[in-house]
Amino acid sequence: MAYKAKIRVTLRPSILDVQGKAAQHALENLGYTTVESVRIGKYMEVNIGENTAEEAGRVCTEICQKLLSNPVMEDFTFELEPLN
């Protein structure tokens, strides 16, 4: 069996999001004055060929910690979806 991991990586709340601030400022200039904040992150989909959701989750956690996110500055979450 295989699983699709839908991974979201975001800056930790304590880290200034320079891209988000720039996007918020641009939106204000376009007249969207009710937009109070913008945070920009990354979204990835990874297919993992493991037999159980538990094993796929373990692999996903490891690859997020080792490569797909910066553990000093970023947090990650993921959802697993079985592939047929």
pLDDT of 84 strictly over 80? no
CA dihedral over 54, 60, 63, 64, signed as positive or negative: negative
Per the DSSP assignment, residues forming a β-bridge with 81 are 4
Q: How far apart are CA 43 and CA 75, in angstroms?
A: 12
2-83 maps to which CATH number? 3.30.1280.10
- Per-domain boundaries in the chain: 2-83
Q: Which residues contact 25 (CB under 8 A, 6 or more apart)?
A: none
Per the DSSP assignment, residues forming a β-bridge with 9 are 42, 76
Angle at 47 between CA 72 and CA 7, to 5 degrees: 35
- The string of pLDDT tens digits covering residues 35-82 is 999 999 999 999 999 999 999 999 999 999 999 999 999 999 999 999
